Homo-oligomer: A and B are copies of this chain.
Amino acid sequence: MASSKELEIENFNEWFNDIIYKAELADIRYNIKGLVVFRPWSVFSMSKMFQMYEAILNNTGHQQVMLPTLIPEENFLKEQEHVEGFTPEVFWVTEHGTEKFEEKYALRPTSETAFYFMFKYWLSSYKDLPIKTYQRANVFRYETKATKPFLRSREFYWYEAHNLFETFEDSYQQVLQDMEITEDMLHQEFGVPFIFFKRPQWDKFAGAIDTFGADTILPNGKLLQLPSTHLLGQTFTKSFDVKYKNANEEEQYPFGTCYGPCISRIYGGMISIHGDKLGIRMPFSLAPTQIIIVPLYFVGEDIEVIEQTCLSIAEDLDKLGYRVKIDDHKEKKPKERFEVHETKGVPLRIEIGPKDVKANTVTIYRRDLNLKENLETPDLFDKVDDIAEEYTQNIREQADTAFLSKIVSVDTYDELKEQLLEKKVARVTFCSIEMDGKPCADEIKADTSGAEIRGIRMDLEEKPAEEDVCIVCGRKAKQFVYVGNKSY
């Protein structure tokens, strides 16, 4: 068996483009550029991810709603920063049948301008607050950059939560809760490590006071933004005249937040993080087929006995609640059949051949550790339970190790440039993530292949020493920031 080092992906782009087809995840042959067809193997897992996310949003006091996909242009024009941020990317509906509409309608690129339009009807008193809502939605952005299935397509699939609070402090607490939800889902459930960064002021969501983004690191060393959460302050409540009366009957504007976990993108990040040269891997709970049983036939052997044994084991595993299938492609060689399931990331394979039937044994292959083992058949069921139990933790720990190995601390500007060439994400001392730090950020960008300041980390407090200076300008360093190349 190859070691985990030998299995590491070398050319990520090539690997990703190949795996989409080999593992039957998506199809880019649809006849509109940038719009992708997602196939059953990925959709099964994404549907589970949607359900898990829905449960946690409900459990944290969010209520699900469904708003229209179309947003009138007039709503869009209400928030100037938002307009500038999103208008270039909007798909516009202008006709129905053979007639023109009097007004243009946007396909939602995000739904603030629909939610806030409704909030004014739903909010009147402080007793109505907090309002915590979310919807499952497909959103549309006409990206001018290169598209990539899952990671960046012109239609994508997410939950978007839109919340209102009485005080700024309450809204900040929500942002912290969004980070916890992200940890529970992405890291614990999906095994995807990330750091939540407070973004620099020049890299915010259009209309936000502060943006917090969760970045993971792809096998090519590039940062991929996964969910982000935003402090919107009173920007949208003022633009849309959303207000309430407080206990003293005074009119107030509430404070908003929004949080956008994009399931199709998280899936793309997840398979990239856990993937290797053999194919994709995914948490045990998300695998469409969790256990594949492969009967091994040889000339002259009794096929029926082998098939019967496979069937009986499959039935027992099915009764235990596992998603199990038998691979009955007799026409294919064992190696060929093994590869299909390794490529698709089936967590566990059970091989049963003529020797096994005689000896009452089975051979198992586990995809988390890339390990084969021969077992007495009666021991199989406890072993499967054990693997199911620890599988996700194993791939999460591997991902965590790889993630940490991609981050380095550097002290000098030259070292920074070197490490970025080595595809690392670098921690450096930096002057400021307020607007006065932008010239230094621009300098880094210009001196490297476009590396960006991703912000200051939110999961732990990192304070520079009194004497630390900005790695670029030499001014006193206010914080540590992380610098890396962004992907998608």
Q: Which residues of A contact B (CB under 8 A)?
A: 27, 29-32, 35-40, 43-44, 46-47, 51, 54, 63-70, 72, 74-75, 87-98, 104-105, 107, 114, 117-118, 121, 133, 138, 140, 142, 155, 157
Q: How far is the CA of A139 from the CA of B74 in the complex (A)?
A: 23
With A114-B30, A142-B97 already in contact, the answer to whether A133 and B36 are too (CB < 8 A) is no
The answer to whether B91 touches A96 (Cβ under 8 A) is yes
Q: Given A88-B97, A91-B96, 10 other A-B contacts at CB below 8 A?
A: A35-B68, A37-B67, A40-B63, A43-B63, A47-B64, A69-B107, A89-B97, A93-B94, A93-B107, A95-B104
Known: A92-B93, A94-B92, A95-B94. A68 touches B32 (CB 8 A): yes
Pairs of residues from A and B, 4 with the lowest C-beta to C-beta distance, nearest first: A40-B63, A35-B68, A96-B142, A38-B66
A27 / chain B contacts, CB cutoff of 8 Å:
118, 121
A157 touching B66, Cβ below 8 Å = yes
Alpha-carbon distance A31/B120, docked complex (angstroms): 13
B residues in contact with A63, CB < 8 Å: 40, 43-44
Give the complex CA separation of A274 and B94 in angstroms: 40
Whether B121 lies near A36 (C-beta < 8 A) is no
- List 8 contacting pairs A-B, 8 Å CB cutoff, sorted by A: A30-B118, A31-B75, A32-B68, A66-B157, A69-B155, A90-B96, A90-B97, A93-B94
Minimum distance in angstroms from A28 CB to a CB of chain B: 11
How far apart are the CA atoms of A133 and B38 in the complex, in Å? 12
C-alpha gap A102/B30 in the complex (Å)? 17
> Within the assembled complex, what's the spacing in Å between the Cα atoms of A138 and B108?
13
Chain B neighbourhood of A107, CB < 8 A = 69, 93, 107
Copies of this protein chain in the complex:
2
Tell me whether A36 and B97 are in contact (CB under 8 A).
no
List, in ascending order, chain B residues with CB within 8 A of A121's CB: 27, 29
Bound: A376/B94 CA distance, A? 64
Q: Which residues of B contact A105 (CB under 8 A)?
A: 32, 91
Prevailing SS type, chain A contact patch: mixed
In whole angstroms, how far apart are the Cα atoms of A31 and B103 in the complex? 11
Q: A54 vs B98: C-alpha distance in the bound complex, in angstroms? A: 36
Complex Cα–Cα for A107 and B66 (A): 18
A65 touching B38 in the complex, CB below 8 Å, given contacts A72-B32, A74-B31: yes
A70–B32 touching, CB < 8 Å: yes
Closest to A288 in B: B63
Question: What are the residues of chain B within 8 A of A140 when measuring CB–CB?
Answer: 69
The chain B residue with its CB closest to the CB of A66 is B38
Write out the residue numbers on chain B whose beta carbons fall within 8 Å of the beta carbon of A92.
93-96
Q: A309 CA to B140 CA in the complex, in Å?
A: 51
Give the CA-CA distance A181 to B328 in the complex, in Å. Answer: 28
* Minimal beta-carbon separation of A32 from chain B (angstroms): 6
Name A103's closest neighbour in chain B (CB-CB): B32
A94, B94: Cβ atoms closer than 8 Å: yes
Q: Are A43 and B66 in contact (CB under 8 A)?
A: yes
By a CB distance below 8 angstroms, the chain B residues around A90 are: 96-97
- CA A39 to CA B66, docked complex, whole Å: 7
Contacts of A87 in B (CB 8 A): 97-98
Known: A31-B74, A105-B32. A65 touches B40 (CB 8 A): yes
**Distance in angstroms between the alpha carbons of A74 and B30 in the assembled complex:** 12
Q: Quick check: A64 and B37 within 8 Å, CB to CB?
A: no
Contact of A43 with B69 in the complex, beta carbons under 8 Å: no
User: Bound complex: CA of A105 vs CA of B90, how far in Å?
Assistant: 14
Residues A37 and B66 in contact in the complex (CB < 8 Å), given A93-B91, A96-B92, A142-B97: yes
> Is B30 a contact partner of A69 (Cβ separation < 8 A)?
no
Pairwise interchain contact B96-A40, C-beta atoms closer than 8 A: no
Min CB gap A138→B, angstroms: 6
Q: How far is the CB of A98 from chain B (nearest CB, A)?
A: 8
Residues in B neighbouring A69, C-beta threshold 8 A: 69, 107, 138, 140, 155
Give Cα A22 to B231, complex, Å: 33
Q: Is the CB of A118 within 8 A of B40?
A: no
Chain B residues near A117 (CB-CB < 8 A): 30-31
